[in-house]
Each structure stands twice: as C-alpha cells, then as structure tokens.
Amino acid sequence: MLEYRRIRPASVIGPLGEELTLDNLPPPETTRWVSRRKAQVVAAVEGGLLTPEEACARYRMDLEELANWQRLFDRVGVPGLRTTRIQHYRERFPEEYLSS
C-alpha cells in the first residue's frame, strides 16, 4: 500500500519576495527577533517548508507564540510583528489578546 506523505517544497517565497530555504531561514540560535525574521518563519510554515511543530522546536517557542505571529502577519503584515507596536495592535484587535 502506498503511503501518502506531504512533499516538502525545497523553497518558498518569503515576505519580501525572497526565496527561503531551510539553509537561509533565521538560525536556530536567534535571540534578536526583528519583524523580518519573524515574517520569514511565518512564511516558511505557511508555505510548508517547516511544520508548526518543527518551527517551534527549532526556535524554542510554543505554538501559541507562533500562532500570534501568524495572526499579526495576516492582519497587518511585517510591521505587525514589531514588538514596539504590540500595545497598538492589542487595542486594534482586542479579541485576539483576550487569552493573553
């Protein structure tokens, strides 16, 4: 019997139109998370380059944090991932922060 496995793409298009591969994603030891790097991780997950679980293990975060990045990126784009704007977005989209 054939097993159905999801085929992982070799690359996906990043948030700024760049080609993302496993080799040019932010390194696992990243500690300074600028909005561009967060957006690259979101694009890698949404494009199937990484599963959410792989991304969380690679970057030592929980699924809730990744989901928050995805929501903000979907709503506002790369600028939404700036940590200096979190209070602004909490006021703009309060339903997403009720459980935070």
H helices, E strands: number in the chain? 4, 2
Q: Which range of residues forms the domain containing residue 55?
A: 33-96
Q: What is the pLDDT of residues 1-53, one digit of tens each?
A: 555 567 889 999 999 999 999 999 999 999 999 999 999 999 999 999 999 99
Contact 29, 58 (CB under 8 A): no
Number of separate domains in the chain: 1
Choose among 14, 26, 29: nearest CA to 73.
Answer: 14
> Stretch 53-71: mean pLDDT, rounded?
96
* Within-domain flag for 81: yes
* Within-domain flag for 12: no
pTM over 0.75: yes
